[in-house]
A = this chain, B = another copy of it.
Amino acid sequence: MRAIFIAVGSELLDLDRIDTNSLYVARRLREKGILMDMKVVVGDHMDHLSWLVKKSCQRAQLVIISGGLGPTEDDITREAVAAALKKKLVFQESIVADLQKIFQRRGMAMPEINTRQAFVIEGAEVIANPAGTAPGLYLTEANCQVLLLPGPPNELVPIFEDVFARHIAPAANYFIYSRTFKLTGISESEADASIADIYRKYRNPLTTILASPGVIELHFLGRSKNSDEEARKLTDELAEKVRDRLSRFIFADKDVSLPEVIVAELKRRQFTLAVAESCSGGGLGNLITNVDGSSEVFLGGVIAYANSLKTGLLGVTAEVLNKYGAVSTQTAQAMAVGVKRLCGAAIGLAITGIAGPGGATPDKPVGLVHIHLHAADDDKGARQLFSGGREAIKLRSEYAALNLVREHLKGLDNQVS
């Protein structure tokens, strides 16, 4: 099945606005083996959109359009699709009644302008919008399914899911099974190099590698014309081979973040954590506290950007700073020990490095970072040399520090077993 996604809205062409609806829809379609041929962003222009819908319906079997269903003059999707398919717009009294109820609940009279939303393309199914005023519309024309969705994501999702379950997924040609691994402590090129000989042998499952600073994602998507079971078997075969190679870097096999994994594991063990941050400047604490419920295990810590705070608060000695420098194993270790004691935490975690672009010395380049973990029964650190700009180096440092915690907790498991 060929699918085309069209996002309508001049604001999406302007400056740096990004259409995120297509990402959601692409992911859901992909789960049923429907791959998008193309996606288009088009402004609120009657003739552009009408032309595009006409051409798309001649080409694809599924055309999904988001946006432009509001009540104002700018909202031209209904008219443009009707024109493209040479259909009439018909006024549907029952929609007006529904709209009036919505406004009544809000304690308002319905503005006259909203009656525009009661015009429906003839032959289309009207799908109620539980979160807003614009209903969705679904119709089939010749060999093409056409779906009109409101633009706001919270309105789009429930309407899409309804039509997806009833009309789109049943028409999909494939059974699909997907798996995901999330990795840290390895670069994209290292991960690719270590498994390329395995996954390149397979066109099915399809393998995708996504990289962001500190985290690599591996996605495997197996398809079968015959059964769910066959799709699963195909996917598992490849995924397990990959897992054998990369298991020590895999921190999750579902869509959770590394901070979420760490916070959950600390909760389970009732361990507390404190951080001492130099070059990351608070970014590590920020990542951890983005996790809902992190306050149960995260005490806080010290942003020791100036050396005076490394000595004054964390107890790094002037001797260590002078002899080894602020970016050194010794300073990182003293920071971890210091913050653990200062905060009364089970684990102290420290980062010190050179995020650049300034601050490098002949023997300490931009990107050099020392991370360190100190706990009652463990003391470990790592020296890293990261590439990228200032923000990427900070992020990579934070993920590397979190990975130390992960390794520490795994080490405890191994001692037990």
Contacts and interface: CB of A to CB of B under 8 A. Distances in A.
B15 A210 contact: yes
17 contacts: A14-B30, A15-B219, A16-B23, A16-B27, A38-B52, A51-B59, A280-B289, A282-B283, A282-B286, A289-B355, A295-B359, A299-B305, A299-B306, A300-B304, A302-B303, A313-B313, A313-B342
B23 A358 contact: no
A289 B285 contact: no
Given A38-B41, A280-B286, A308-B344, 15 more contacts: A13-B26, A14-B208, A15-B23, A15-B27, A15-B30, A16-B27, A37-B43, A37-B48, A281-B288, A282-B288, A283-B285, A289-B355, A295-B359, A302-B303, A313-B342
A64 B300 CA distance: 50
Contact of A357 (B288, B292, B390): B292
B41 A309 contact: no
> What secondary structure prevails in chain A residues at the interface with B?
mixed
Contacts of A39: 13, 40-41
Interface string A1-28: 0000000000101111110000100110
A394 interface: yes
Contacts of A299: 305-306, 308-309
A42 interface: yes
A361 to B, nearest CB: 15
A299 B17 CA distance: 35
Between A275, A306, A313, A344, the greatest number of chain B beta carbons within 10 A of the residue's beta carbon is seen for: A306
* Complex copy number for this chain: 2
Interface string A293-320: 1110011111111101100010000000
A45 B37 CA distance: 8
Nearest to A298: B305
B55 A343 contact: no
A298 B281 contact: yes
Between A48, A282, A358, the greatest number of chain B beta carbons within 10 A of the residue's beta carbon is seen for: A282
A75 interface: no
A142 B283 CA distance: 54
B40 A38 contact: yes
Contacts of A94: none
B43 A38 contact: yes
A300 to B, nearest CB: 4
Contacts of A51: 59
Contacts of A293: 358
Nearest to A208: B14
A293 B292 CA distance: 32
Contact of A38 (B48, B285, B304, B357): B48
Contact of A289 (B18, B43, B282, B300): B282
A358 to B, nearest CB: 7
A336 interface: no
Nearest to A209: B11
Complex A-B, nearest 6 residue pairs according to Cβ-Cβ distance, in ascending order: A281-B289, A282-B285, A282-B282, A300-B305, A300-B303, A283-B286
A218 to B, nearest CB: 11
Nearest to A343: B309
B17 A210 contact: yes
A36 interface: yes
A17 B22 CA distance: 11
Contacts of A41: 38-40
A237 to B, nearest CB: 21
Contacts of A14: 26, 30, 208
